[in-house]
Amino acid sequence: MSDDTKSANEMWGGRFSAGPDAIMEAINASIGYDQRMARQDIEGSRAHAAMLAATGVITEDDAKVIREGLLTVLAEIEAGNFAFSTALEDIHMNVEARLKEIVGEPAGRLHTARSRNDQVATDFKLWVRDQMDAAIDGLEALIRALLGQAEAGADWVMPGFTHLQTAQPVTWGHHMMAYVEMFGRDMSRFRDARARMNESPLGSAALAGTSFPIDRHMTAEALGFDRPTANSLDAVADRDFALEFLSSATICAMHLSRFAEELVIWSSAQFRFVRMSDKWSTGSSIMPQKRNPDAAELIRAKIGRIMGANIGLMTVMKGLPLAYSKDMQEDKEQVFDAADNLMLALAAMTGMVSDMTANTESLEAAASSGFSTATDLADWCVRALNMPFRDAHHVTGSLVAMAEDRGCDLPDLSLEDMQSVNAQITEEVFGVLGVHNSVASRTSYGGTAPSEVRKQIARWKEKLGKEVLA
pLDDT of residue 1: 46
pLDDT band for position 10 (50/70/90)? very low
pLDDT of 187 strictly over 50 = yes
Mean pLDDT of 149-162: 94
pLDDT of residue 468: 55
SS3 51: helix
Q: What percentage of the chain has pLDDT greater than the value 70?
A: 92
Q: Is the CB of residue 309 less than 8 Å from the CB of residue 338? A: yes
Greater pLDDT, 247 or 419: 247
pLDDT of residue 404: 86
SS3 202: coil
pLDDT of residue 455: 97
Whole-structure pTM value: 0.87
pLDDT of residue 470: 47
CA of 272: how far to CAs of 225, 259, 350, 361, 434, in Å?
A: 50, 16, 21, 9, 22
Mean pLDDT of 114-141: 97
Mean pLDDT of 419-446: 87
**Residues 62-81 pLDDT 10s:** 999 999 999 999 999 999 99
State the CB neighbour count (10 A cutoff) for residue 188: 14
pLDDT of residue 287: 47
Burial readout 14-40 (b: 16 or more C-beta within 10 A, e: otherwise): eebeeeeeeeeeeeebbbebbbbbbbb
pLDDT of residue 266: 95
Mean pLDDT of 219-245: 98
Q: Is the CB of residue 175 less than 8 Å from the CB of residue 358? A: no
Going by C-alpha positions, the residue among 114, 79, 74 that lies closest to residue 94 is 74
pLDDT of 8 strictly over 60 = no
Kindly report the average pLDDT of the chain as a whole number: 90
* Identity of the residue numbered 183: F
pLDDT of 293 strictly over 90 = no
Least confident of 103-117, 137-151, 332-346, 371-385: 371-385
Give dist(CA 356, CA 260) in Å, integer: 12
pLDDT of 425 strictly over 60 = yes
pLDDT of residue 14: 53
Supply the DSSP symbol for 321: P
pLDDT of residue 429: 84
pLDDT band for position 19 (50/70/90)? low
Q: What percentage of the chain has pLDDT greater than the value 90?
A: 67
Least confident of 24-33, 81-90, 121-130: 24-33
Residues 6 or more apart in contact with residue 158 via CB below 8 angstroms: 169, 170, 171, 172, 175, 273, 363, 364, 366, 367
* Identity of the residue numbered 312: G
pLDDT of residue 166: 81
pLDDT band for position 11 (50/70/90)? very low
Helical H segments across 271-318, by residue range: 294-317
pLDDT of residue 377: 81
Active-site residue set: 163, 284
Handedness of CA 176, 177, 181, 187 (dihedral sign): positive
Going by C-alpha positions, the residue among 341, 343, 348, 347 that lies closest to residue 281 is 348
**Residues 36-60 pLDDT 10s:** 999 999 999 999 999 999 999 999 9
Q: Is the CB of residue 118 less than 8 Å from the CB of residue 187? A: no
pLDDT of 109 strictly over 50 = yes
Rounded to the nearest 10°, the torsion over CA 149, 139, 333, 125 is 180
pLDDT of residue 441: 87
pLDDT of 288 strictly over 80 = no
Q: Is the CB of residue 329 less than 8 Å from the CB of residue 122? A: no
pLDDT of residue 396: 87
Length of the chain in terms of residues written:
470
Helical H segments across 29-90, by residue range: 31-34, 38-54, 60-78
State the CB neighbour count (10 A cutoff) for residue 260: 25
**Residues 300-359 pLDDT 10s:** 999 999 999 999 999 999 999 998 898 888 899 999 999 999 999 999 999 999 999 999
Mean pLDDT of 206-230: 98
Going by C-alpha positions, the residue among 433, 462, 437 that lies closest to residue 448 is 437
pLDDT of 9 strictly over 50 = no
Helical H segments across 407-449, by residue range: 415-421, 435-441
Mean pLDDT of 391-415: 87
Going by their DSSP bridges, the two strands 157-162 and 274-275 should be labelled as unpaired
